[in-house]
Chain A
Amino acid sequence: MSNDLLRLQEIDKRFAGVHALKRVDFALRAGEIRCLVGENGSGKSTLIKIISGVVRANSGDILVEGERVPSPTAGEMIRRGVQVIYQDLSIFPNLTVAENVAMPRVAVSGRALIDWRSVKTIAHAAMARIDARIDPDAIVGDLPVGLQQMVAICRALTSDIKLLILDEPTASLTKVEIDHLLSVVYEMKQRGIAIIFITHKLDEVLKVADTVTGLRDGEIVGTFERSALDHDKLVEIITGKSVDQSRFELESGARKTLLEVRGLSKRNNFADVSFSLREGEIVGVAGVIGSGRTELAMALFGIAPAETGAIVVEGVERRIDSVQAAVAAGFACVPESRLSQGLALKRSVGDNVVVASIERCVGQFRLLNNQRRRSLVAEWIARLAIKARDPNVAVETLSGGNQQRVVIAKGLATRPKIFILDGPTVGVDIAAKSAIHQIVRSLAAEGAGVILISDEAPELVRNTNRILLMRGGRIRSEIVSSSLTPEQLQTLVEAA
């Protein structure tokens, strides 16, 4: 179509044995906000990389404003007005805000010497466009992640941009910043700039998109008008299956209190946190980025211990000043970042499962008993149905969902009473998500207490019996989950 801003025709891409994109057609008009949804491995990121020129397709054409781009390199696509704001932001943490923002323009100008005044001017202009109040001389690496993202966006605005691709942009923004971002996005739309918005938060898709393209297994499932979609339909597009509606139910009856937290505080992290956790409960912790939830988890697990307050486990006050102390007290934790905090990627599945409880395998003469180790590994692989051909395979070769099961198994092997899960299904395919939810529910059913920290309202609402709302480092309120809808929770979180 001649009024398409961007058109991909028959784009095909293979990576050493994986057919990432199978003769895909994709078109986008000026001023259109398109959301791209798909699981990991669906080809979503490959598509973006091809559009931005970072990766070259094996065959197929890219047309910008009707004109075929013969050599779509990164530099060329930038010249044509395609900009990507990556998840990792691609900012230079050691340079100032002004320099980061102005860098692309300076690079394009080809001048050998730096004119600092023009750097400042360019930066001010870009920041003014979205009313970003950031000190231009601040070192970007010292800023909180939300502001860093603003810097990245300002940077994209310094050139003549026709298509902006935002890759999971709201993952670490506060509500205010998200609103800001969206208003910027709408403003750009008015000016005829097309936006591709990639997000795994389905409620965001429903809020922002004009149209939605779904990808599955390297093929485009279809492009849909927003009005024809709802949450469940989106799930079906992405997974090909219908959504699991079951909820976690807490049976009535007397329950032992496993954990009591009283007045737990840590400067610049959280203040006066008090709550209790009983056997069999799954207590959710909701809140926006920067509310202190992960910091609380790290304090309970001994990674970044609290300064004042008490942690009482089964009636006994415990001093949690190290991970060893936390594990001894009965805590287990699935940390926020699976790849950088949860797993030793190049070690085997077995090693990763057994690492936190390796002491149980120590036998005579303080030597490891291989038999015991093997059976421990086999037990947990079976119990959690971890799909790995062989326990000696490197854990990095497993899928995201299976990797997460390994992290959970590691925690379970220490026989914890209290399990803290921080974003346990992030980056896990929707099908695998419900499997993990089942695991968590059975943990509770067996008598453990579970603390579930999550950004996904549907996950919280369906898998907890009550939810704590945190904001600004404090617990603001507590709600019962049973008749709560995800939308209601989302509103409460944003309003807290």
Chain B
Amino acid sequence: MKSLLNRNEFYLAILIAVLCAAIGSLNPHFFAPQNILAFLKTSSVNGILAVGVLFVLILGGTPDVSFTAIAQVAEYAVVLATLKWGGNVGIAFLMACAIGAALGAINGFLIHYFRVTTIIVTIATFNVYYGLLYVLTGGGVVFVVPTFFKKFGESLLFSSHDAAGGVYGVSLVTLLWFGALALGWFILRRTFLGRSILAMGGNEVAAERMGLRTVAIRLFVFSFVGLLSGVAAIAHTSIVLSAIPNSIVGKELEVIAAVVLGGASLFGGRGTILGAFLGVLLFAVLRNGLVLLNISSYWYDVTIGAAITIGVSFSAIQQLRARRAKVNVIVTEAA
């Protein structure tokens, strides 16, 4: 089996390694397990969302930008519902997934039926979902959430104690992220459904001719994104322990950029779970680095923006080179 790493993921991994080395040399606390586990935990939300974004990009074309609004709606709905009627983490997840999947399915239906690019439809649904959320909830912030969220957020696997007596370990939230990655990998690599998504992304006409059920596949992808958005919403609530209407919304472009930097193509048909993971990790390391190096928070956005711009430029240059180096003719020797 060819175990050649796709060039994109390879470069990304190296870049992350270099960054880690650089940050770590300036502030060794970067390498402390508490730190690493902490930033892994906080980037879990983006990480889970990234798996969904990956699926949409593989399916083809412009990205879905409404997933953060879906997550926000799910978050709010679950928080308000569980405040009113009680419940537990399991119910919270179920509710969030159901709401997310439903809103995602609406996206899928609109995109398929009207044959319009994903980005335009989802710009519209983003605003409908988000706007209605605000209108129905009055934009109020909820500062108190049911305790099971806190419990879930603080649960650890493989915990251990540090010198000061504090406990740290692998958070269940982080495991949720890894779980989402594993699920995404399994679907894409081991199921016929996943291969069909890739096929559709590669050549939708051919997929239809082969008898693949493109409508169902499209609906699945968008529902899946919604479902993952629901999962991310609960993860988010467990971390921030509040429901603030614009806490998730606003991250969509960063998540999309992370997935694209990880190697997913805007043209569809290409992208890996590893890439989606590395892309999110890159931004997580960057953010953590900025904090550890005591850089003023005003520089965060510029750094992320520069990272996105440089990243997409780099990908584009790579693709340009590949196109130019393509062998069009096998030139043979003169007689």
Establish whether A and B are touching in the complex (CB under 8 Å). Answer: yes
Binding site for B on A (CB under 8 A): 54, 74-75, 78, 84, 86, 88-95, 99, 103-104, 106-107, 111-114, 137, 141, 144, 267-272, 290-292, 295, 471-474, 476
On whether A137 and B2 interact (CB within 8 A), knowing A107-B210, A113-B190, the answer reads yes
B335 nearest CB across to chain A (Å)? 7
Say if the beta carbon of B41 comes within 8 Å of chain A: no
| CB–CB B192/A113 < 8 A | yes
Most buried by A among B2, B202, B207, B335: B202
The 4 A-B residue pairs whose C-beta atoms are closest, nearest first, are A472-B332, A94-B269, A473-B331, A90-B206
Interface residues in B192-212 (C-beta closer than 8 Å to A)? 192-195, 198-199, 201-203, 205-207, 209-212
B268 nearest CB across to chain A (Å)? 8
B211 nearest CB across to chain A (Å)? 4
Instruction: List, sorted by A's number, 24 A–B pairs whose CB atoms are closer than 8 Å.
Output: A74-B209, A90-B209, A91-B203, A92-B198, A92-B199, A92-B269, A93-B202, A94-B202, A94-B268, A94-B269, A95-B195, A99-B195, A104-B210, A107-B210, A112-B191, A113-B191, A141-B202, A144-B327, A268-B327, A268-B331, A272-B334, A290-B329, A292-B329, A472-B332
B317 nearest CB across to chain A (Å)? 18
B218 nearest CB across to chain A (Å)? 16
On whether A270 and B209 interact (CB within 8 A), knowing A99-B195, A113-B192, A114-B191, the answer reads no
On whether A107 and B203 interact (CB within 8 A), knowing A114-B190, A473-B331, A473-B332, the answer reads no
Q: Determine the chain B residues whose CB is within 8 A of the CB of A476 once the complex forms.
A: 335
On whether A103 and B328 interact (CB within 8 A), knowing A92-B206, A474-B334, the answer reads no
| CB–CB B195/A269 < 8 A | no
Say if the beta carbon of B330 comes within 8 Å of chain A: yes
Main secondary structure of the interface of B (DSSP, over half): loop
B262 nearest CB across to chain A (Å)? 16
Task: For the complex, count residues of B whose C-beta is within 8 A of A.
Answer: 34
Say if the beta carbon of B236 comes within 8 Å of chain A: no
| CB–CB A106/B332 < 8 A | no
A474 contacts which of B199, B327, B332 (Cβ < 8 Å)?
B332
Q: How many Å lie between the Cα of A103 and that of B192 in the bound state?
A: 9
| CB–CB A291/B195 < 8 A | no
Q: How many Å lie between the Cα of A78 and that of B211 in the bound state?
A: 9
Q: How many Å lie between the Cα of A92 and that of B201 in the bound state?
A: 9
Q: How many Å lie between the Cα of A278 and that of B323 in the bound state?
A: 35
B329 contacts which of A111, A268, A272 (Cβ < 8 Å)?
A268
Q: Determine the chain B residues whose CB is within 8 A of the CB of A267 once the complex forms.
A: 331
| CB–CB A107/B212 < 8 A | yes
**In the complex, which residue of chain A has the Cβ closest to the Cβ of B208?**
A74
B331 contacts which of A111, A113, A137, A269 (Cβ < 8 Å)?
A269
